[in-house]
């Protein structure tokens, strides 16, 4: 199939289905449903990937990769062991399903620890720690559900990688659809308030620690508890609205609105706590591994907030100089 | 394996003498210096006699150029990177890392051994008071908090480091599945052991994955419930169950740790791990029965008075003893520099040497690491506890002039405990 063919009328139902996948992702964060024709369903996925890559908004890329990965794992959960092994082998996993005729074992697969770690280190539950897994001879014992969850993560990263490749220019019929989806995305996110902090917050004046935490969150990855606390209290203290801080966490795959709102408001001094929290001191952040590396300004301060104020002063001075 | 920072290793006056001995070593035994695999992709670092600072970002095309460099420059310490780079001489950001060996460091320094009080001492920097053993927080005579520390290492320290090393090897082979050919064990030339795995599969492990491996080996975050310890109800009674001695991974380790604990613990020791007095005495009273039970399903639930929570404590404590005390930072640092095999250690004048895994139990580091087997030197010793080196025993010394075999003299000079006689 060539990209140029996509404009021809036979492909209309494929394009419809592709657009469908993306629209559902934008609106509900999921891809469900299915065309009853394989020749529509199967090619609609790579086309949707091309379209999302063209839209180019990283929030959508992450959301789409996650939605497709979840869809895949939901389908896999009902598959037999050999089908799962087959998919895993596609990603070069060293995996074996375990013969268990007497049904006496508590696991279904063994997986090489390197494949396990590549996918599990981002999970927070203690059951995913290597130390809590049964391991022998480099093989980790896993249930079918465990393997499917790990595969979901592998698939998510795989799709994210695809979405970051350059797809070149698309034919006009496709561009019309892309533009329509862009508008939809803008409306949807406008309703949820912008993800980027409001104008008076100067990202350029963030210290390295905050810049890193902020970057991690906006790229949809989780951070530690102390990291979350540091970032939230920092943003609140430099005047960002609670609502905007909550929205920042919205790009996390496991975003929980109620809980996040509670935590942010608590730090902001609402919710009966009355105290407004400030970010920890640099030495505390250093011992918790939140401080990535110090720059020249860091050496003159003891708190991330002091860093920000200092930089802000310098920035203001230089703009007023420009004006005179 | 402290990340070397340079600094004063030895007093100024013996410097020239030590340097010429080191020069002699690199001159006479060039072929002993075996380069690391993929030498052209490694970064090298050296502590130099002259400036006592670390010179980094060097690289060598082959063994020959490394050897001639050592002969010409005669460094105090020689290190290479556990990482492989496309351009090892560039700045860190531009090196282009292609992989990193999986390395472990076991240092007697991190293991609290009873011999500390025999060979370590501290001197208060303000009043001059001297004490034995671990350095206190505050000086007992003047209350100041600055001290000069004088630490030593002995057979007991090195033996405990060796025990931890053997435990680590067991983890690496049985749990992670490496063969003995894949694991390289060395005595560092000072207080501990280095363990290195270069296999392809470890090269691309990221820092988080390495941290998970470290925590696996240290048992950090271990929950015994994930390893078969639990209870269920059956016809109005609670049935306890737990892992067996031959279980794989941590299961067997927990069981073996519990076995050892039950074998020898006194009621007092059991109380110390948080068990109530009645539980502790119950366990020791039924010791025979409990040990016997391992032939079947294990001691879990054998005596009624020991409940699930108590067994959890026992299991956790048993597990703690089974972990291998590795340094966490060294393994997770993917840019680490490690001492090169068969080079001299600047703090001892001993060699870093490889240890055969099969013969590790009989391996005597204080004999095998001696680099200078001939000659002698007369030195003025300020203070040294009794120590063993090669096949001799020396000391204790306190402010005396004495003629010693070369290796013993160098050890004292390098440790800053002696000067040359002018
Ligand atoms: S020194 Fe302080 S302000 Fe600078 S990065 Fe570290 S923690 Fe942040
Ligand atoms: Zn004092
Ligand atoms: Zn000792």
CB A243 within 8 A of CB A261: no
Checking if the pLDDT of A101 tops 70, the result is: yes
A137 interface with B at CB cutoff 8 Å: yes
Q: Please indicate whether, in this complex, the C-beta atoms of B176 and A132 are within 8 angstroms of each other.
A: no
Q: Do B208 and A121 touch (CB under 8 A)?
A: yes
Q: Is residue B20 part of a domain?
A: no
* B14-26: average pLDDT: 93
Indicate if the pLDDT at residue A319 is higher than 80. no
- What pLDDT is recorded for position A195? 40
Contact state of A126 with B223 under an 8 Å Cβ cutoff: yes
B265 plus B394 within the same structural domain: no
Helices A144-163, A38-55: crossing angle, 10 deg rounding:
60
Residue numbers in B near A130 (CB within 8 A) = 212-213, 215-216
Query: Could you tell me if the CB of A294 is within 6 A of ligand 1?
Result: yes
Nearest by CB: A131 against B177, B178, B221: B221
Residue B134, helix vs strand vs coil: coil
pLDDT, mean of residues B124-152? 89
Confidence grade of residue A100 (pLDDT, cut at 50, 70, 90): confident
CATH number, residue B318: 1.10.8.160
pTM of the prediction? 0.79
Write down the mean pLDDT value for chain B. Answer: 92
Flag whether B200 is in a domain. yes
User: Looking at beta carbons, which residues of chain B come within 8 Å of A117?
Assistant: 205, 208-209, 212-213
Residues of B in contact with A92 (CB under 8 A): none
Average pLDDT over every residue of B391-397: 93
For the cut 50, the answer to whether the pLDDT of residue A201 exceeds it is yes
Same domain, B302 and B234: yes
Residue A112 β-bridge partners: A139
Contacts of B223 in chain A (CB under 8 A): 126, 132
Cα-based distances in Å from A6 to A1, A16, A51:
8, 11, 12
| pLDDT bracket for residue B211 (50, 70, 90) | very high
Mutation to test the A interface, candidates B206, B241, B248, most A Cβ within 10 Å? B248
The length of chain A in residues reads 324
Q: Which ligand does the CA of A211 lie closest to?
A: 1
Task: Name residues whose C-beta falls within 8 Å of residue A23's C-beta, 6 or more positions apart in sequence.
Answer: A181, A184
Cβ distance B314 to B275 under 8 Å?
yes
Sequence-ordered list of residues with C-beta below 8 angstroms from that of A294, at least 6 positions apart, any chain: A208
B163-187 pLDDT, tens digit each: 999 999 999 999 999 999 999 999 9
Burial B41-62 (b: 16+ CB within 10 A, else e): bbbbbbbebeebebebbbbbee
Between B202, B204, B216, which is nearest A130 by CB? B216
Whether B236 and B341 share a structural domain = no
Whether the predicted pLDDT of B394 surpasses 60: yes
CA distance A232 to chain B (A): 24
Does B165 lie in the same domain as B43?
yes
CATH number reported for the structural domain that contains residue B387 in this entry:
3.40.5
Residue A28: predicted pLDDT:
84
What is the pLDDT at residue A242? Answer: 85
Atom number, ligand 1, closest to the C-alpha of residue A290: 7
Q: What are the pLDDT digits (tens) for B402-417?
A: 999 999 999 999 999 9
Q: Give B400's pLDDT tier (boundaries 50, 70, 90).
A: very high
B58/B140: higher pLDDT: B58
pLDDT of B303-344, one tens digit each? 888 889 999 999 999 999 999 999 999 999 999 999 999 999
User: Do B348 and B278 lie in a common domain?
Assistant: no
- Cβ–ligand 1 distance for A231 under 6 Å, the answer no
Any atom of ligand 1 within 6 Å of the Cβ of A279: no
Q: Give the C-alpha separation, A300 to A179, whole Å.
A: 48
CA distance A301 to A281: 9
B419 phi, psi to nearest 5 deg = -125, 165
For testing contact with chain B, the best of A110, A122, A131, A293 (most B CBs within 10 A): A131
- A274 confidence band (pLDDT: 50, 70, 90): low
Q: How many beta-carbon pairs below 8 A join chains A and B?
A: 70
Tell me whether residue B18 is in a domain. Answer: no
Residue pair A253/A66 in contact by the 8 Å Cβ criterion: yes
Q: Is A118 on the interface with B (CB under 8 A)?
A: yes
Check residue B39 and give its pLDDT: 97
Using the mean position of ligand 3's atoms as its centre, give its distance from the Cα of residue B100 in Å: 33
Structural domain count, chain B? 4
Mean pLDDT of chain A: 86
Q: Are residues B85 and B128 in the same domain?
A: no
- Cα(B189)–Cα(B343) distance, rounded to whole angstroms? 9
Per-residue pLDDT at B140 exceeds 80: yes
* Residue A32: pLDDT over 90: no
Check whether A292 has a pLDDT greater than 90: no
pLDDT at A239: 84
Pair B194, B276 in one domain: no
What's the confidence (pLDDT) of residue A3? 65
In sequence order, the 6+-apart residues with CB closer than 8 A to the CB of B268 are B280
Q: What are the tokens at B64?
A: 């020959």
Q: Which residues of chain B from 178 to 237 reach within 8 Å of chain A, CB to CB?
A: 178, 201-202, 204-206, 208-209, 211-213, 215-216, 219-223, 226-227
> Residue B379's beta-bridge partner residues?
B402, B420
B22 falls within a domain: no
Q: Both B90 and B101 in a single domain? A: yes
Tokens of A145: 């559900």
Residue A155 scores a pLDDT above 90: yes
Check pocket membership of A278 for ligand 1, CB cut-off 6 A.
Answer: no
Strands B183-187 and B130-132: unpaired
Question: What pLDDT, on a 0 to 100 scale, did the predictor assign at position A271?
Answer: 61
Report, as an integer, the average pLDDT of A79-94. Answer: 95
Question: Does ligand 1 lie within 6 Å of residue A67's CB atom?
Answer: no
Confirm whether B23 is domain-assigned.
Answer: no
Residues B365, B253 share a domain: no
With CB atoms and an 8 Å threshold, state whether A121 touches B209. yes
Report the residue of chain A nearest B206, measured CA to CA: A118
Given an 8 Å threshold on Cβ–Cβ distance, is B219 in contact with A131?
A: yes
pLDDT confidence band for A27 (50 / 70 / 90): confident
For A90, the enclosing helix (H) or strand (E) is helix A81-90
Residue B60 clears pLDDT 90, i.e. is over it: yes
Instruction: Find the domain containing B130 and state its range.
Output: 117-150
What percentage of chain B exceeds 90 in pLDDT? 77
Residues B232 and B271 in one domain: yes
Atom of ligand 1 nearest to the CA of A306: 3
Q: Look at residue B25 and tell me if it is in a domain.
A: no
Phi, psi (degrees; rounded to nearest 5) at B374: -125, 160
**B317 and B260 in a common domain:** yes
Between B195 and B146, the more confident residue is: B195
Mutation for testing the A interface, residue in B174, B176, B197, B205 having most A CBs under 10 Å: B176
In ligand 1, which atom is closest to the CA atom of A292? 5
Chain B residues 380-399 with a CB less than 8 Å from chain A: none
- At A183, list the tokens: 């508008």
Shortest CB distance from A131 goes to which of B176, B209, B250? B250
- Which chain B residues are closer than 8 Å to A136 by Cβ? 174-175, 177, 248-249
CATH of the domain at B50: 3.90.920.10
Residue ranges per domain, chain A? 3-56+165-188, 74-157, 203-323
Look at residue A111 and tell me whether its pLDDT is greater than 60.
Answer: yes
**What's the pLDDT score for residue A191?**
57
Which phi and psi angles does B45 have, rounded to 5°?
A: -140, 150
pLDDT of residue B4: 47
Domain contains B337: yes
Q: A58-76 and A144-163 are packed helices; what angle lies between their axes, rounded to 10 degrees?
A: 150
Model confidence at B252: pLDDT above 90: yes
Residue bearing tokens 């240290």: B218
Interface touch B212/A131, C-beta < 8 Å? yes
A85 has a pLDDT exceeding 70: yes
> Encoding tokens for residue B169?
């090897």
Give yes or no for B92 touching A (CB within 8 A).
Answer: no
CATH class entry, domain A74-157: mainly alpha
What residue in A sits closest to B243 (Cα-Cα)? A134
A1 touches chain B (CB under 8 A): no
| pLDDT exceeds cutoff 60 at B6 | no
pLDDT of residue B8: 43
Say if residue B133 is in the same domain as residue B94.
no
Give CA–CA dist B293/B259, Å, rounded.
10
């Amino acid at each position: 199939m060539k990209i140029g063919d996509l404009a021809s009328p036979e492909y209309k139902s494929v394009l419809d289905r592709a657009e469908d996948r993306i629209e559902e992702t934008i609106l509900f964060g999921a891809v469900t449903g299915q065309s009853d024709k394989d020749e529509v369903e199967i090619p609609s996925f790579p086309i949707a990937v091309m379209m999302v890559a063209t839209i180019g908004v990283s929030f959508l890329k992450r959301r789409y990769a996650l939605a497709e990965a979840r869809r895949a794992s939901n389908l896999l959960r009902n598959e037999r062991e050999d089908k799962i092994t087959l998919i895993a082998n596609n990603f070069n996993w060293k995996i074996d399903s375990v013969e268990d005729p007497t049904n006496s074992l508590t696991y279904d697969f063994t997986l090489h620890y390197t494949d396990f770690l590549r996918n599990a280190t981002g999970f927070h539950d203690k059951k995913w720690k290597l130390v809590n897994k049964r391991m022998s001879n480099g093989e980790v014992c896993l249930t079918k559900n465990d393997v499917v969850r790990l595969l979901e993560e592998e698939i998510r990263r795989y799709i994210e990688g695809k979405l970051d490749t350059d797809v070149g220019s698309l034919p006009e019929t496709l561009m019309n659809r892309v533009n329509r989806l862009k508008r939809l995305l803008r409306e949807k996110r406008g309703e949820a308030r912008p993800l980027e902090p409001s104008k008076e917050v100067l990202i350029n004046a963030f210290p390295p620690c905050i810049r890193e935490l902020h970057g991690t969150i906006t790229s949809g990855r989780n951070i530690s508890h102390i990291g979350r606390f540091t970032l939230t209290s920092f943003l609140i203290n430099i005047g960002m609205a609670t609502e905007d801080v909550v929205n920042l966490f919205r790009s996390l795959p496991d975003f929980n609105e109620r809980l996040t709102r509670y935590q942010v408001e608590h730090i902001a001094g609402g919710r009966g706590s009355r105290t407004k929290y400030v970010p920890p001191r640099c030495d505390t952040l250093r011992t918790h591994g939140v401080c990535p590396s110090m720059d020249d300004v860091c050496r003159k301060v003891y708190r991330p907030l002091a860093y920000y104020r200092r930089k802000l002063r310098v920035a203001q001075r230089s703009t007023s100089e420009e004006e005179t | 394996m402290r990340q070397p920072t340079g600094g004063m290793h030895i007093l100024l006056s013996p410097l020239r003498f030590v340097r010429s001995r080191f020069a002699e070593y690199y001159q006479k035994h060039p072929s002993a210096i075996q380069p690391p695999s993929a030498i052209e992709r490694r970064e090298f670092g050296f502590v130099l006699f002259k400036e006592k600072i670390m010179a980094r970002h060097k690289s060598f095309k082959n063994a020959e150029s490394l050897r001639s460099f050592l002969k010409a420059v005669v460094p105090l310490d020689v290190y290479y990177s556990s990482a492989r780079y496309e351009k090892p001489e560039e700045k860190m950001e531009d090196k282009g890392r292609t992989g990193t060996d999986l390395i472990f460091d076991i240092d007697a320094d991190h293991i609290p051994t009873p011999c500390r009080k025999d060979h370590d001492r501290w001197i208060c920097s303000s009043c001059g008071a001297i004490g034995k053993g671990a350095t206190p927080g505050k000086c007992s005579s003047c209350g100041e908090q600055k001290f000069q520390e004088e630490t030593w290492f002995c057979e007991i320290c090195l033996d405990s480091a060796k025990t931890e090393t053997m435990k680590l090897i067991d983890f690496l082979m049985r749990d992670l599945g490496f063969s003995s050919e894949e694991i390289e064990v060395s005595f560092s030339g000072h207080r501990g052991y280095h363990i290195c795995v270069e296999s392809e599969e470890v090269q691309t492990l990221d820092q988080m994955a390495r941290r998970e491996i470290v925590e696996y080996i240290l048992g950090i975050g271990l929950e015994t419930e994930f390893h078969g310890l639990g209870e269920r109800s059956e016809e109005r009674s609670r049935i306890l169950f737990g892992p067996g001695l031959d279980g794989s991974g941590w299961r067997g380790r927990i069981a073996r740790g519990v076995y050892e604990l039950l074998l020898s613990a006194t009621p007092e020791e059991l109380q110390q791990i948080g068990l109530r007095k009645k539980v502790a005495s119950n366990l020791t009273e039924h010791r025979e029965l409990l040990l016997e039970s391992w032939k079947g399903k294990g001691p879990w639930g054998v005596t009624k008075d020991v409940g699930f929570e108590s067994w959890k404590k026992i299991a956790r404590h048993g597990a703690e003893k089974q972990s291998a005390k590795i340094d966490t930072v060294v393994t997770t640092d993917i840019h680490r520099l490690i001492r090169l095999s068969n080079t001299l250690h600047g703090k001892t004048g001993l060699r870093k040497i490889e240890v055969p895994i099969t013969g590790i139990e009989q391996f005597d580091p204080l004999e095998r690491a001696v680099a200078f087997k001939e000659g002698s030197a007369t030195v003025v010793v300020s203070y040294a506890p009794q120590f063993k080196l090669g096949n001799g025993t020396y000391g204790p010394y306190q402010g005396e002039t004495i003629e010693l075999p070369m290796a013993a003299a160098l050890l004292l000079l390098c440790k800053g405990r002696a000067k040359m006689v002018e």
